[in-house]
Every structure is written in structure tokens, then in C-alpha cells.
């Protein structure tokens, strides 16, 4: 019985490899930036881990997103276990779906308008109170996020070369929630279990990513290390009512792994705005406090492998 890793970003792989190896697991890696799917052939047995990021297009791997939308469903229909399968992935690559799922779970979100194409953007912006932000529907790393305090500035942005559409052609206009304490909070969850929460400073802008890999080749998007941008939160724990809602959301939506982000405004109101299925972890924060997110993922994979082995019929 084999672990199969579906991925497109080599920089994010070392922590997962280390976690799997430390538990004596064997795996095969499948780099996905597109592919051929033979529907007449059953996929290899085992447990699959989906590590495709919604920011794959920034590495010229958008073909992997399209491929996995179909392949994950094919795996599940074929009876294969997928960590963060088709429904989880559909959420990850669509902030429209995320907002709908959050609202259905009774979780507060910022007012959001989704606009397909760019011809209706200016008209739609007039339905937003100032200030507001833009973001990509298929995002990651805070890409496409811009803050606007007047409509004329937004109009000029839409007409300029600086405007970059989301890879799926859907731009979101969203209520801007100013962080009361200068940071946003990301809650890390694995297998319906609260791991910890991390604060990310917003002083440098909106492009926040806690992963160590960001320090390697994406420093413009998520500077970490000596900047002190990320720290463990002491304001959230497993008994927090919001965390409990997150866990119920995970169970309802088929999420095995999630990093869910919220921001607290000056009135103490918390707005949840992002669900990350391909969660990455800040090694510095984890080492300082004795946490290991990838270890929890590896433990989940190991338990799923053992469950499948037990279910296999004995050889005659």
C-alpha cells in the first residue's frame, strides 16, 4: 500500500518528505502541471495527498489545477482515499465557494461581490462602501489584493497595465477590515483537530504566507525569519467557539487539512476570509513551541493506510 503525493511546488516538499520518512512510510511523488487521464484504467491503490496550490499559475502550473479538478474526482469514484480531495480542492481554488461555505456554517465573513470579467468591475465597485479591496478568486499568497479608498483610483487601476486578472477570470471586491492589532490570524487544523494559531503582521502588505519555502524564493510575497512577521497566537485555543465552527466546517466540506484565516476589527468582530487546503507551516514558529504540522499530516496518512490494509480481503 503506497502513499501518492500530487504536487507542483518542489520547495514545499522537504518537510512532508521528512515527516513521512520519520514514520517509516514509503511514497511516490507525482509532479502535476497537466497530464493525461486514461479513464479506462483504474488508478494505483493507496492513499493520495493533494498538495496542489491555488497559486500554481504563478509557477506556470495552471494546467495542474485543471487536471486535478478531474483527477481527484476520478480517484474518489474509483474508491481511492484522497487527503483533501475533490470538494476540498474546489473550495481551495474558489474564494466564492469559500465565502458561501463559511456563511452556511454561521461564520462571519466580509461583504464580497464576485465579478466575472472586467467590463462590470467599475459598476460593481459602486456597490461597495469605501475602503474596499480586490483579490483573485483563485488566489494564494495574497495575489491580486489591492486596497482602494476612492472609486476614481479603482477605475484607473482597472484601466492600467497593473491590473492582473485572476486565472479563472473572477475578481472579488471585498469589504476592507482593518486589523485592530496590526495582524491577521491563521488557525491550523488537521483531521478535525486544532493544532495552533499563528499571527501574521500586516505591516508589509497583504501578501502573507507562513511557509519556510517562501523564504527561499518568494521573499517579496512573504518575508519571514528575522522580520518577526509571524508569531504564535495566544488569543485562540481549541475551545474557542470560532475554532469549533471551523472544525464542523471541515467535517461538512471534506477538508482533512486547513489553514483558516480571520481578522479582528476595532470592535472585536472577527471576519473569516480565507481557507487554505494546501497548508504550509513556519518551521521557526513550530520549532520554538514544539509543534509539527506536517507530522500531524503524516500521522493522518499513516492511519488511513492502516485502515485500508485492514479492509483488504485476506489472500486465499
What per-residue confidence (pLDDT) applies to 227?
A: 43
What per-residue confidence (pLDDT) applies to 226?
A: 34
**What is the residue extent of each domain of the chain?**
3-91+300-311, 94-108+179-290, 112-175
* Arch. (CATH architecture) of 112-175: 2-Layer Sandwich (3.30)
- Third-level CATH fold of 3-91+300-311: Rossmann fold (3.40.50)
Task: Please indicate whether residue 158 or residue 309 has the higher confidence score (pLDDT).
Answer: 158
- The sign of the CA dihedral 42, 301, 272, 145 is negative
Task: Please indicate whether residue 215 or residue 119 has the higher confidence score (pLDDT).
Answer: 119
Residues 169-223 pLDDT 10s: 999 999 999 999 899 999 999 999 999 999 998 875 554 444 443 333 333 334 3
Q: d(Cα 250, Cα 88) in Å, to the nearest integer?
A: 9
pLDDT score of 314 more than 80: no
pLDDT confidence band for 246 (50 / 70 / 90): very high
Residues 55-91 pLDDT 10s: 898 899 999 999 999 999 999 999 999 999 999 999 9
Mean pLDDT throughout 284-298? 93
**Domain spanning 94-108+179-290 has what CATH number?**
3.30.470.20
What per-residue confidence (pLDDT) applies to 129?
A: 97
Q: d(Cα 112, Cα 70) in Å, to the nearest integer?
A: 28
Farthest-apart Cα atoms in the chain, separation: 75
List the Cα angle 292/296/300 in 5-degree steps: 165
What per-residue confidence (pLDDT) applies to 13?
A: 95
Residues 101-114 pLDDT 10s: 999 999 999 999 99
Q: Give the number of residues written for the chain.
A: 316
pLDDT score of 42 more than 90: yes
Mean pLDDT throughout 128-139? 93
pLDDT score of 260 more than 90: yes
Mean pLDDT throughout 37-66? 94
What per-residue confidence (pLDDT) applies to 282?
A: 86
What per-residue confidence (pLDDT) applies to 204?
A: 58
What per-residue confidence (pLDDT) applies to 209?
A: 46
Classify each residue of 145-164 as buried b or exposed e, where b means 16 or more C-beta atoms within 10 Å of its C-beta.
bbebeeeeebeeeeeeeebe
pLDDT confidence band for 144 (50 / 70 / 90): confident
pLDDT confidence band for 268 (50 / 70 / 90): very high
* R_g (Cα) of the chain, nearest Å: 20
Amino acid at each position: 500500500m503506497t502513499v501518492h503525493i500530487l504536487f507542483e511546488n518542489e520547495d514545499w516538499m522537504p518537510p512532508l518528505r521528512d515527516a513521512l520518512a520519520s514514520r517509516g512510510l514509503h511514497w511516490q511523488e507525482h509532479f502535476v502541471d497537466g497530464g493525461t487521464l486514461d479513464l479506462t484504467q483504474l488508478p494505483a491503490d493507496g492513499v493520495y495527498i493533494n498538495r496542489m496550490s491555488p497559486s500554481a499559475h504563478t509557477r506556470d502550473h495552471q494546467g495542474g489545477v485543471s487536471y486535478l479538478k478531474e483527477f481527484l474526482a476520478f480517484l474518489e469514484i474509483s474508491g481511492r482515499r484522497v487527503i483533501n480531495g475533490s470538494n476540498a480542492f474546489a473550495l481551495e481554488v474558489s474564494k466564492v465557494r469559500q465565502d458561501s461555505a463559511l456563511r452556511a456554517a454561521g461564520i462571519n465573513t466580509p461583504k464580497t461581490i464576485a465579478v466575472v470579467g472586467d467590463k462590470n468591475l467599475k459598476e460593481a465597485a459602486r456597490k461597495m462602501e469605501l475602503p474596499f479591496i480586490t483579490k483573485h478568486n483563485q488566489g494564494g499568497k495574497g495575489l491580486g489584493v489591492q486596497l482602494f479608498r476612492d472609486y476614481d483610483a479603482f477605475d484607473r487601476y482597472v484601466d492600467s497595465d497593473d491590473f492582473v486578472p485572476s486565472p479563472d477570470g473572477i475578481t472579488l471586491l471585498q469589504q476592507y477590515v482593518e486589523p485592530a492589532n496590526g495582524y491577521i490570524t491563521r488557525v491550523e487544523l488537521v483531521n478535525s483537530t486544532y493544532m495552533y494559531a499563528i499571527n501574521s503582521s500586516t505591516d508589509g502588505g497583504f501578501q502573507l504566507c507562513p511557509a519556510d519555502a517562501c523564504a527561499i524564493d518568494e521573499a517579496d510575497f512573504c518575508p519571514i525569519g528575522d522580520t518577526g512577521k509571524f508569531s504564535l497566537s495566544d488569543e485562540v485555543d481549541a475551545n474557542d467557539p470560532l475554532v469549533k465552527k471551523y472544525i464542523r466546517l471541515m467535517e461538512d466540506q471534506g477538508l482533512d487539512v486547513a489553514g483558516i484565516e480571520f481578522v479582528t476589527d476595532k470592535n472585536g468582530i472577527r471576519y473569516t476570509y480565507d481557507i487554505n487546503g494546501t497548508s504550509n507551516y513556519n518551521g521557526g514558529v513550530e520549532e520554538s513551541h514544539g509543534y509539527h504540522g506536517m507530522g500531524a499530516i503524516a500521522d493522518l496518512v499513516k492511519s488511513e493506510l492502516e485502515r485500508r490494509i485492514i479492509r483488504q480481503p485476506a489472500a486465499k
